[in-house]
Amino acid sequence: MPHMMDDFPLLLSTLYDRAVRLYPGQEIVSVESDLSLRRQTYAETDGRIRRLAAAFGTKLGLGEGAIVGTFAWNNVRHHELYWATTNTGRVCHTLNIRLFPEQLAYIINHAGDRAIFVDPDLVGLLEPIAGELDSVEAFIVMSDHLGDTTLPNAVTYEDLISDVEPHGAWPLLDERSPMMFCYTSGTTGHPKGVAYTQRSTYLHTIHNLATLPITARDNVLPVVPMFHASAWGYPFEATVSGAKITYPGPDLSPEGLVQLFHEERVTFSAGVPTVWLGIQHHLAEHPEIDVSSIEKFLCGGSAVPRAMIDWYWSNRGIRVVQAWGMTETNPVASVALLKPGMEEWEHQRQLDFMETAGLPILGLEVKIVDEEGNALPHDGEAFGELLIRGPWIAAEYYNDPRSPQSFVDGWMRTGDVCKITPEGYIRITDRSKDVIKSGGEWISSIDLENELMAHPAVKEAAVVGVKHQKWQERPIAVAVLAPGKETSEEELLEFLEDRVAKWWLPDRILFIDAIPKTGTGKFDKKVVRDQYSEVLM
Ligand code: ADP
C-alpha cells in the first residue's frame, strides 16, 4: 500500500474542474479582432471548451498527442484552445504572430502542427506560407464568419464547435505528457522549442500562485501575449484561482489598455517593461485617468527601469513587481518580493531590491558560475552565468541537436550574467550576448539603460557595445524622448556622470524615434548594434 495517493497524477484538468464547479458565474471578458467586447461566464466557457475538445476528434480527426497550432491574440477563443488541448492530452503550439515567415514555417513544420487556429485579422500573415506547411490538414478561423481566404480546408471556429456533443470527463493522462510547445524567438539561428508538460505547468502554476497569489476576487489582464511562453502562465493561474479574466485582444495601445483597466476594474496585469513605460507616459500626461483598481503589475522579460517602479508607486500607489524567467523556465522563475523587515524601509532603499530580478520561486535552485563552471559566492560582487534547476525547468530543446550546449549536469545554463546578493536577490547585469567589453573591462548595458531612463526626458534607452579602434568596444546609447520633453547629449552625459563610473559613459547618445523591438516587445539590441556598429570608427 502506498502511504499517500502518490500516484495521483498532477493534471491541470483537476484544477480546472474545481474552478468551473466553484466559480461558474465568474466572467471572462475579451476584446475581439473587430474590437467588440465579448463576455462569457466560466460555465458558458466550459460548455464551449467541451464542444471544442470533442470536435478535435470527431471533426478534425486529431487524437491524443496531436499538435494544435494557434496564431492568435489574447482572447477568449485562445483561452478555450488552451484548455481544450490541455484537458485532453493534445498539445497547444502557440505561434508567435511576429515571427518572420520563414521562422514561422520552420517551427510549424518542426513541431508537426496538424491544424492551425487563426484570428480573422491574422489570416493574411499565414496565407503566403500555407503552401509550405506539410503537416497542416486544416485551418480554423477564430470567428463566426470565414471571409475571403486562400487557406486550404478553412472553416470557422463557431461552425466547428456547433452540432457536437460536449466532451465528458477528461481523460486520465500521463502527467509527463506534453501539453504545450513554446519556441524561443531565435535571435541567432532557428527558434528552439520547449515542450511544457502537464506536470511542469501544474507545478509552475501552484508555486507561482503561492509566491504571488491571485484569488477569485482578482481581475487579471495578461498583456504578455498568449503566443509567448503561455502568457507567463496567467491564463492557467487566473482560471484555477477562479479570477475574472480580461483579454485585451489586438489593441495594446496605452489608451486601449488603460480604458480596459478602468472599465473592467482590473486588479492585476502582466507584461514587458515597454508596455508599462508607454502607459506611464500616458498617465503622466493624463493625471485625471483613474486606474485605482490596479494593485500590482508583474513586469519582466527584460530589465525593469528603477525609475519606472518608483514612478508607479509614488504617483499611483501601484506596485510594479519585477520577475525574471525564460521560455525554458515554463516561464516565471524569480520574483522581486521584499523580505519581512524591508517593508518598513524607506522607499529608495526598497528599490535597491525591487529593481533586481528577485528571489527564486520556491521549488527552484539557482547558482552563478565562472567560465570554468566553478560556483561563485553570493556576495553581490562576483558575477557569472546564472544556472537554474527544478521541476519545471526544461531538460532539453524539443528534437534539437543544440540541447547539449544549454543543459549541463542537471542544470540549465541561462545565458544571463548575474550577481546574487547576500540576501539571495538575483541581479542581472546582462545577457551574455549583450555584454560590453571595453579594453577588456566589462560594462553593464542594463545599469546604463536604467540610469538613462531615470532622466525625466528619456522615455526609452538602449545601450550597446560598438567597434572602437583603441578600446575594441565602447558603449553607445540610443534614446527616445518622453512626449513633450527635450534634452541634449551633453545634458544626459552630465546626468550620468554622478551615477556611473566615468569610463562607463557612452561615447555617443543618439536620439531616435523608436527603439527597434523583438517579436516579444523587448529592445532588439542586435538590430541596434548592427545599425550603429560603425558610428565610432
Ligand atoms: P527571447 O527573448 O529570447 O524570445 P525569452 O522570453 O525566453 O526569450 O527571454 C528570456 C530572457 O529575457 C532571459 O534570459 C533574460 O535575458 C531576459 N529577461 C527576462 N526577465 C528579465 C528581467 N527581469 N531582467 C533582465 N532580463 C530579463
Please report the domains of the chain, with CATH numbers, ordered by start residue: 14-252 (3.40.50.12780), 436-531 (3.30.300.30)
CB-ligand 1 contact for 30 (6 Å cutoff):
no
Say how far apart CA 121 and CA 316 lie, in whole Å.
Answer: 35
In this structure, the residue with its CA closest to atom 16 of ligand 1 is: 431
Residue 438: CB within 6 Å of ligand 1? no
The reply to whether ligand 1 has any atom less than 6 angstroms from the CB of 414 is: yes
User: How far is the centre of ligand 1, averaged over its atoms, from the C-alpha of 430 (Å)?
Assistant: 10
pLDDT value for 187? 64
Buried/exposed 140-155: b ≥16 CB within 10 Å, e otherwise? bbbbeebeebebeebb
Ligand 1: residue whose CA is nearest its atom 11:
326
Encode 458-485: b = buried (16+ Cβ within 10 Å), e = exposed. bbbbbbbbbebeebebbbbbbbbebeee
Concerning whether 328 is annotated as a catalytic residue, the answer is: yes
Is residue 442 flagged as an active site residue? Answer: yes
170 noted as active-site residue: no
pLDDT digits (tens, 9 = 90+) for 469-515: 999 999 999 999 998 999 999 999 999 999 999 999 999 999 999 99
In the reported structure, the alpha carbon of residue 14 is separated from the centroid of ligand 1 by a whole-number distance in angstroms of: 31
Beta-sheet pairing, 365-369 with 384-389 = antiparallel
Asked whether the CA dihedral 232, 233, 234, 237 is positive or negative, the reply is negative
Mean pLDDT of 423-452: 92
Q: What is the pLDDT of residues 157-211, one digit of tens each?
A: 999 999 999 999 999 999 999 999 999 876 667 899 999 999 999 999 999 999 9
* Confidence (pLDDT) at 519: 82
Q: Give the mean pLDDT of 221-234.
A: 97
Residue 312: CB within 6 Å of ligand 1?
no
| Average pLDDT, rounded, for the chain | 96
For ligand 1, say whether the CB of 184 is within 6 Å of any of its atoms: yes
CA angle 496, 352, 223 (to 5 degrees): 90
Catalytic residue among 437, 441, 494, 503: 437
Q: Is the pLDDT of residue 233 over 90?
A: yes
State the DSSP code for 75.
S
**536 in Cβ contact with 466 (< 8 Å):** yes
Residues 6+ apart with CB under 8 A from 416: 324, 385, 386, 428, 430, 431, 432
Can you give the pLDDT at residue 521?
85
What residues have CB less than 8 Å from 501, skipping those under 6 apart?
Answer: none
Instruction: Give the model's confidence band at 419: pLDDT under 50 very low, under 70 low, under 90 confident, else very high.
Output: very high
Ligand 1 in contact with 431 (CB < 6 A)?
yes
Asked whether 334 lines ligand 1 (CB < 6 A), one says no
For ligand 1, is residue 416 a contact (CB within 6 Å)?
A: yes
Q: How far is the CA of 207 from the centre of ligand 1 (A)?
A: 20
SS3 421: coil
Burial of 168 (C-beta count, 10 Å sphere; 0-12/13-18/19+):
exposed
CB of 330 closer than 6 angstroms to any ligand 1 atom: no
Task: Measure the CA–CA gap between 273 and 279, rounded to whole angstroms.
Answer: 10
The catalytic residue among 165, 339, 381, 442 is: 442
Three-state SS sequence of 342-402? HHHCCHHHHHHHHCCCEEECCCCEEEEECCCCCECCCCCCCCEEEEEECCCCCCCCCCCCC
Identify the pLDDT of residue 188: 67
For residue 351, what pLDDT is reported? 97
Cβ neighbours of residue 518 closer than 8 Å, sequence gap 6 or more: 98, 185, 187, 524
pLDDT band at residue 441, thresholds of 50, 70 and 90? confident
From CA 96, how far away is CA 460, in angstroms rounded? 24
Q: Which of 196, 428, 446 to mutate to test the pocket of ligand 1 (most atoms within 8 A of CB)?
A: 428
Q: Which amino acid is at 482?
A: A
Pocket test for ligand 1, best of 416, 427, 434 (most atoms within 8 A of CB): 416
User: Annotated catalytic residue: which of 32, 264, 328, 385?
Assistant: 328
Give tens-digit pLDDT for 237-294: 999 999 999 999 999 999 999 999 999 999 999 999 999 999 999 999 999 999 999 9
pTM over 0.75: yes
Residue 16 cell numbers, joined: 480546472
Work out the pLDDT band at 534, boundaries 50, 70, 90: very high
From the CA of 326, how far away is ligand 1's center (Å)?
5
